[in-house]
Amino acid sequence: MTTALRSLRAAAAALVVLATACSNSNEPTVPGTNPEVTNATDNFQLQTSSVTGASTTVTYSWRNTGIAASINQSTTVSAGTMTLTVLDASGAQVYSRSLADNGTYNTLTGTTGNWTIRVVFANASGTVNFRAQRL
């Protein structure tokens, strides 16, 4: 093996180690295919397709600089249940609804800060798409 090839392999191995070390292992595992999560101040969105028989809970901390949020749900639940619950920065529940209920809804008034977004999947199948935005 040439020195150049050894150097290239060593560099590739170092990149794999670096990428693994920099990954966010605290990020919840969303069931389904090609999950996409946008978690920005005042704007949170989760979508994933091909959820099949999932029974898990995923929880995110989301920064809301307002006192309420608009929730837009566009989910297809073909089996089981999927429930979205939102807690404000003080831990008070300001929203809870089945993701099978499509539409746009507002949370109750809450405390500004780091809100909690929790999705509970119970033997659930379908496609998930919802967004939370500061009001």
The pLDDT assigned to 3 comes to 60
The pTM is what? 0.80
The pLDDT assigned to 32 comes to 85
The pLDDT assigned to 8 comes to 46
The pLDDT assigned to 26 comes to 60
CATH code: domain of residue 100: 2.60.120
Taking the chain (135 residues) in runs of 10, the rounded mean pLDDT of each run is 54 42 59 92 97 96 98 97 98 98 98 98 97 97
Task: Look at residue 23 and tell me if it is in a domain.
Answer: no
Please give the tally of structural domains in the chain: 1
The pLDDT assigned to 39 comes to 98
> What is the span of the domain harbouring residue 67?
28-134
Task: Look at residue 102 and tell me if it is in a domain.
Answer: yes
Task: Look at residue 8 and tell me if it is in a domain.
Answer: no
Query: Using a CB cutoff of 8 Å and minimum separation of 24, what contacts does 99-102 make?
Result: 99/73, 99/75, 99/128, 99/130, 100/75, 101/73, 102/73, 102/74, 102/75
